[in-house]
Structure 1
Amino acid sequence: MIDLNQMGAAAKTAAKQLAGLSTAAKDQALDAIATALEANVEALLAANAADLAGAAASPAKFRDRLRLTPARIADMAAGVRAVAALPDPTAVTEAGWRNHAGLWIEPRRVPLGVIGIIYEARPNVTVDAAALTLKSGNAVILRGGKEALHSNQALAAVIQAALAATGVDAAAVQLVADPSHALANEMMHLNRYIDVLIPRGGAKLIQTVVQTATVPVIETGAGNCHVYVDATADLEMATRIVVNAKVQRPSVCNAAEKLLVHAAVAEQAVPALAAALTAHGVELRGDARACALVPSLHPATAEDWDTEYNDLIMAVKVVDSLDDAITHINAHNTQHSESIVTNDYAASEQFLQQIDAACVYVNASTRFTDGNEFGFGAEIGISTQKLHARGPMGLAQLTTIKYAIRGDGQIREA
């Protein structure tokens, strides 16, 4: 029987230790985790094989996200070492100032405390989350999906053994080994111990956590992303960007799901873009104007414009103006990543200013919304909300501010 209150209390205790650890001590623990992953490849693969056997009837893209290989485990270890090499946000002293009363006020970055993460099939999230929370001085309680239970248990055991071997409280990284909805619901209400909850997965999971939790939530992930081809776009550039944004890895949240094309170039651009996409196996759905230009397109439904496919499917719409494109995107997007292809500087600036999303691109693929690509080294997720953190969440976004104020006897008179 899993006692979440007991896990929470242990995490609180571990968080206090972590907050006081030096950067060198945290980096030593991270290196021990990486080494332990490399030393336990066979055990990890055996655990993963049990999960894959249980997912035999699942779609190929799902099994691929679930699968561990020696190369993927090596990548996990390399990722942990990359996090160790990053600057420690809690070791940075930010600029202070002296106020009118002579008080020295200094903002300091401190850990959030205990982070809860509820996530789905990808077992690499277990390692990424452990590394990022440890480096930023936070304890973490992980609740993965039932599909990856054996893999996550094996990974958590390896991580905890490595932590204990370096003198770090093993409760700094804990896994809820019961993937039931009841335990997940209880975790969403563990306000006494969990300081912030981060859901990672599909739109349904994220919305369930956002709507159910009483613990503060950082909303992440769902990506109904658009590429808009403007009237002045270079068609060759637009084709490269659209194909990359849709095809390179269609199952992830920063893949493009929708294509908007300005009516002034639609007659040439829609058939050319459709041909390039279908050559890569993309199923295209279009509005009436797009279907008139390319009769092989399937008619899009109203539901299509709000759907994150995570697959080789894309919906195409012809718009009359930049304003129409912006209005449509803001009405249907998930505030994740949006891109314009244009040679008009004024149009690019209007798009950047008026699109409501965490990441807005000019002449580039949406696939760059990623902690590594942004130079953060790694990420805990892509925040699509506006409070505390937005966009790829690296180490700094897993901390908050504490003000340290020094005086020499000041009192406030009024």
Structure 2
Amino acid sequence: MDIKQYMNEVGQAARAASRQIARADTNAKNAALHAMASAIERDAEALLIANASDVANARAAGLDAALLDRLTLTAKGVAAMAEGLRQIANLPDPVGEMSDFAYRPSGIQIGKMRVPLGVIGIIYEARPNVTADAAGLCLKSGNAAILRGGSEATLSNQAIAKLVKEGLRIAGLPERVVQVVETTDRAAVGELITMSEFVDVIVPRGGKGLTERIAREARVPVIKHLDGICHVYIDSEADLEKAVRIADNAKTHRYGTCNTMETLLVNDDIAKTALPLLASIYAAKGVELRGCPRTRDLVPTALVATDEDWRTEYLAPILAIRVVADLDAAINHINDYGSHHTDAIVTENYSKARRFLREVDSASVMVNASTRFADGFEYGLGAEIGISTDKIHARGPVGLEGLTSQKWIVLGDGQIRG
């Protein structure tokens, strides 16, 4: 296969499809989403069989546990894909939404209209659910999508893509609105991220290495995050029961996700009560603890934490713990060592909660809730195209609004500028 020629053909088809889907009727887009969801539910068993083959091949190839976790589909996960598509269908269509109208002294009326970005390239590792999520979000927001999944999920991605195309066909929409790159040759990624004439934005979903490469080499804008170094801070005025439940869930619900807690910060006034309780829970679940000197005084089984531990996204049953003097120390630690992804405070003090929300410089900041909620589905976006820790255009879970832009519109009645 001539990769350059193939990707050029994919890009041309996507650009043409983007113009068609940008003017598509909301009812047609919703019909396609519902048809996709129904097809996924109907063929759930076939999807699980295809995924089981991918997982077996990945395990035989020696892929790490975090990647295997992201690759594996369950019956619940397949059902969530279908539900996510239906949620997207039920969300308001952002395309064409007009706002901020005002009259100027000249008599013209100015405002803004929300419009699709155009063609979105999504490059992802494992996570076959991204195929459905990305297809649904791009479709509803009026964009064409070029999806390039990892070779470890080829069978799963192709099976899901077949059902996505079925939904588009049933709704009378062009099938090339969503294209899954059929080659696993890495050169396809290099072509995709440099096709500025066809692609308007790139979204990487994968490890730090993949994201860094794309950010470095892309010739089109990139919506991204590099690390998920997420924190939970247990304040001196925390409800202990809440704190234990949240710190447990934030770390052990799933280890291989970007919104999993990697560092636990505990106020010194509550540490001697909270840490032994949590250490017992973590020990029962096989979580390795690495702590500061004060942590190791209270939890002798903890290993010594180095400065590098505060900067590490483990994606594994490993947790760094630091005892801090006060809220200022916690905020400073998060802003110095964090990745600006998701951070939470557990406290019953309203003023401290407000300070934490205001001063922690992250895409998602939470009070008395697990970091695991930083997710498009949980935020009511239906799904997410990815999570952005950038500060321009989109930040946090990127849903429909993040896949659109705004243009100025001017309404006049013959006015000319004097």
State the TM-score bracket (shorter-chain normalisation): over 0.9
What TM-score results when the alignment is normalised by the length of structure 2?
0.93
What is the rounded CA distance, in whole Å, between the counterparts of 1:324 and 1:332 in structure 2? 12
Unaligned runs of 5+ residues in structure 2 are: none
Partner of 1:154: 159
Partner of 2:72: 67
2:21–2:142: 8 Å Cα contact kept in structure 1?
yes
Q: Which letter maps to 2:213?
A: T
What TM-score results when the alignment is normalised by the length of structure 1?
0.94
Unaligned runs of 5+ residues in structure 1 are: none
State the Cα RMSD in Å: 1.9
Q: Which letter maps to 1:137?
A: G
What is the CA distance between 1:252 and its match in structure 2? Answer: 1.3
What is the CA distance between 1:134 and its match in structure 2? Answer: 0.3
Partner of 1:10: 13
1:112–1:399: 8 Å Cα contact kept in structure 2?
yes
Given the alignment of the two structures, is residue 54 of structure 1 paired with residue 48 of structure 2, yes or no? no
1:140–1:172: 8 Å Cα contact kept in structure 2?
yes
Given the alignment of the two structures, is residue 44 of structure 1 paired with residue 62 of structure 2, yes or no? no
Partner of 1:324: 329
Counterpart mapping for 1:261-280 below 5 A? 261-280=266-285
What is the CA distance between 1:107 and its match in structure 2? Answer: 1.1
Partner of 1:342: 347
* Structure 2 residue corresponding to 1:34, chosen from 37, 40, 46: 37
What is the rounded CA distance, in whole Å, between the counterparts of 2:58 and 2:250 in structure 1? 28
What is the CA distance between 1:376 and its match in structure 2? Answer: 2.0
2:84–2:377: 8 Å Cα contact kept in structure 1?
no
Partner of 1:405: 410
1:48–1:150: 8 Å Cα contact kept in structure 2?
yes
Given the alignment of the two structures, is residue 396 of structure 1 paired with residue 408 of structure 2, yes or no? no
What is the rounded CA distance, in whole Å, between the counterparts of 1:345 and 1:84 in structure 2? 37
Counterpart mapping for 1:252-401 below 5 A? 252-401=257-406
Given the alignment of the two structures, is residue 228 of structure 1 paired with residue 233 of structure 2, yes or no? yes
What is the rounded CA distance, in whole Å, between the counterparts of 1:323 and 1:139 in structure 2? 46
Find runs of 4+ consecutive structure 1 residues off by over 4 angstroms.
none
What is the rounded CA distance, in whole Å, between the counterparts of 1:68 and 1:363 in structure 2? 30
Partner of 1:94: 99
What is the CA distance between 1:38 and its match in structure 2? Answer: 3.3
What is the rounded CA distance, in whole Å, between the counterparts of 1:69 and 1:254 in structure 2? 20
Deviations 1:63-103 (A, max 9, x none): 34323345433332232122111111115332412112111
Given the alignment of the two structures, is residue 24 of structure 1 paired with residue 31 of structure 2, yes or no? no
What is the CA distance between 1:265 and its match in structure 2? Answer: 2.7
What is the CA distance between 1:332 and its match in structure 2? Answer: 1.0
SS at match of 1:241: helix
Q: Which letter maps to 2:40?
A: L
Task: Count the aligned residue pairs.
Answer: 413
C-alpha spacing 1:241/1:130, structure 2 compared with 1 (3 Å): same
Deviates more, 1:216-225 or 1:138-147: 216-225
Deviates more, 1:287-296 or 1:263-272: 263-272
What is the CA distance between 1:291 and its match in structure 2? Answer: 1.1
2:224–2:386: 8 Å Cα contact kept in structure 1?
no
What is the rounded CA distance, in whole Å, between the counterparts of 1:271 and 1:72 in structure 2? 34
C-alpha spacing 1:344/1:31, structure 2 compared with 1 (3 Å): closer
Deviates more, 1:119-128 or 1:402-411: 402-411
Deviations 1:188-241 (A, max 9, x none): 111111101111122222222222211100113631001111222222221111
C-alpha spacing 1:240/1:42, structure 2 compared with 1 (3 Å): closer
What is the rounded CA distance, in whole Å, between the counterparts of 2:45 and 2:380 in structure 1? 32
Counterpart mapping for 1:75-86 below 5 A? 75-86=80-91
Partner of 2:125: 120
What is the CA distance between 1:292 and its match in structure 2? Answer: 1.9
1:80–1:128: 8 Å Cα contact kept in structure 2?
yes
Given the alignment of the two structures, is residue 137 of structure 1 paired with residue 126 of structure 2, yes or no? no
Deviations 1:314-353 (A, max 9, x none): 1001122222211111111110111112233332222222
What is the CA distance between 1:43 and its match in structure 2? Answer: 4.2
What is the rounded CA distance, in whole Å, between the counterparts of 2:42 and 2:239 in structure 1? 50
C-alpha spacing 1:260/1:68, structure 2 compared with 1 (3 Å): closer
SS at match of 1:179: coil
Q: Which letter maps to 1:34?
A: A
Deviations 1:372-396 (A, max 9, x none): 2222222212211110111121111
What is the rounded CA distance, in whole Å, between the counterparts of 1:340 and 1:79 in structure 2? 29
Q: Which letter maps to 2:175?
A: A
What is the rounded CA distance, in whole Å, between the counterparts of 2:167 and 2:312 in structure 1? 42
